[in-house]
Structure 1
Amino acid sequence: MKAFIVKLTGISLAIALIGWLVFSLAFPEYYLPVFPFLLLFFYLATMGIHSYQLKMAKKDIGKFTRSNMLVTFFKLVLYSVVAVVYIAVDKENALPFVICLMLLYLIYTFFEVTEITKATKSAERK
């Protein structure tokens, strides 16, 4: 888990730097003050979900396989609720928010899936 947190922190810092560059140089009119909080939300959610999935994989790989689809579903519901609430509150910035949300979702999900795949492969070998 420690290596995962280090990698996750590195990715989050890289996204923060890229976001700062994009919003300060290329598209300052689309800057969202909520972006740092959105990044923190994804960081914490990914860490929590990964921790839960690792515990499930260590207990029983069969149970992990069955619960993985439910975890993915609830994660999508959680992110959708965040999107709907934000769009209801700030309709003017809905498009930049949805684009940021989708990019963060894709980046963090890709990272999470590759890391959990590595962890479950090593758990299956044991």
Structure 2
Amino acid sequence: MNLSADAVFAFGKSDIASVSDEGRDQLDRLVGRLHRIRDVRAVHLAGYTDRIGGDAYNDALSRRRAEAVRGYLVAHGVPAEVITTEGRGAADPLVTCPDLSGSRLRACLAPNRRVAVSIVAMRHVER
């Protein structure tokens, strides 16, 4: 499952206060799904950015985004001990957008700005 970081966070942001209505819906659907799945053993959150900006900045931003989603999940009843996070920066892009610049490049690269969610459960039986 991928959470679109562009929907969840404003460009260049990592705080939950900047979450859009669409982003809040994505987070709430994730919380609902986690509450319905029996025997959740692990939830791994991997934050990503686009290629705009330096590596150190993008690595830190991607970690902060994953941690912000973790905080949201914990605040909504998901056990903290099952959640791990990592920042992947601009790794594993979904789109490359060659020959674009400025606002067109930023818009094209939006799918790369995401938080990937992996859920491990004993049984994938929803309550």
Greater RCO (Cα-Cα under 8 Å, separation 6 or more):
2
Q: TM (normalized to structure 2)?
A: 0.27
Q: TM (normalized to structure 1)?
A: 0.27
Higher percent of residues as helix: 1
**Rg larger for:** 1
